[in-house]
Structure 1
């Protein structure tokens, strides 16, 4: 068994925490795990890509192009940027939320949300789009999109850990005062995926 997961987002969205939670859940189930993060030049709002590899025959932490089983996207344009990692037949779970680059705000480039969605739908066998910002507001905190994403991911069949195990991994990585809101966010993501 081998499972490769890429998480794409921007700085400040919690993709590194999400990758650590996935890794911890896999290790709790006695799987070998390799992780890597590629962090953009800006601390906030620069591109961040996390690689999580679990299972057998792992020869490195970086997922080769066209081999990721799953692409999890916290920001729409960054999800498109990560498409080169997704294997044929792979699954995308992407937020429709956008963090518009400064170049767009200055009128130097454009941000075409519908075009990004179309590209993802064309290239993935299954593409699910959720509004993480809206769901985070339901959870009660704007910075819970990463946990909503993990809850949605946990609803997929065939993972090497249960939703409860993944949630517990999240809770093991965060301060006590944030546990309740993140439990709520995880459940909101799981339920959103079940109806998507």
Structure 2
């Protein structure tokens, strides 16, 4: 059976790296994996999404509306934007983190209030503060790997050697920090 995970965020949050690490781990475990990514205006703080589908045989890389088993939002407004892609019984992990879009920065719009409450009222939602967890580890840039850890636990993928995947795919001087971040994320779900 094919499983579908949608990772969404804002440019610069490491969404694509997290999905590439996830894909590498799934391939290492012997799954057929398809990944697609949409960068939008990622260099300018725009929406970024990555779709990872895995199983015995995956026919297409794209997740249809209502087809995601899991939605992982690196930024909470993105969770609402992409919620229609989640299956009714799907899981949401949302990072309680705000990055104002250009209309909000320029004063043409307000950041929506009550996002977490709305998500929690509609679907199974786990809220984490990956920024605070990353700060506790001493590097805010590992927020993405913390969020990757939540996927590993929620999708029951702990048997994969994630430490090896990280060592094979990140700079050697950052490998141990990222392994710690992954372990933190795995413990949050």
> Shared topology, TM-score over 0.5?
yes
Alignment correspondent of 2:121:
122
Alignment correspondent of 2:183:
187
Decide whether the 8 Å contact of 1:76 with 1:113 is kept in 2. no
Aligned CA distance change for structure 1 residues 79 and 170 (closer, same or farther; 3 Å)? farther
Aligned-pair Cα RMSD in Å: 1.6
Aligned CA distance change for structure 1 residues 180 and 166 (closer, same or farther; 3 Å)? closer
Decide whether the 8 Å contact of 1:154 with 1:166 is kept in 2. no
Decide whether the 8 Å contact of 1:139 with 1:188 is kept in 2. no
Q: Which aligned segments of 4 or more residues in structure 1 are displaced greater than 3 angstroms?
A: none
Deviation string 1:14-61 (CA, Å, 9 cap, x unpaired) is 111111111111111111000000111241411100000001342211
Alignment correspondent of 1:70:
70
So what's the TM-score if we normalise by structure 2?
A: 0.93
Deviation at 1:102, TM superposition (A): 2.6
Alignment correspondent of 2:108:
108
1:82 is aligned to 2:104: no
So what's the TM-score if we normalise by structure 1?
A: 0.89
In structure 1, what is the Cα distance between the partners aligned to 2:164 and 2:78? 27
Aligned CA distance change for structure 1 residues 81 and 153 (closer, same or farther; 3 Å)? same
Deviation string 1:141-166 (CA, Å, 9 cap, x unpaired) is 1111110001122222x53x326523
Alignment size in residue pairs: 189
- In the TM superposition, what are the counterparts of 1:1-196 in structure 2 within 5 Å? 1-114=1-114, 116-124=115-123, 126-156=124-154, 159=156, 161-162=157-158, 165-193=161-189
Unaligned runs of 5+ in 1: none
In structure 2, what is the Cα distance between the partners aligned to 1:163 and 1:107? 47
In structure 1, what is the Cα distance between the partners aligned to 2:178 and 2:160? 13
In structure 1, what is the Cα distance between the partners aligned to 2:104 and 2:95? 19
In structure 2, what is the Cα distance between the partners aligned to 1:56 and 1:118? 36
In structure 1, what is the Cα distance between the partners aligned to 2:126 and 2:21? 21
- Equivalent residue of 2:165, what SS? helix
In structure 2, what is the Cα distance between the partners aligned to 1:162 and 1:180? 18
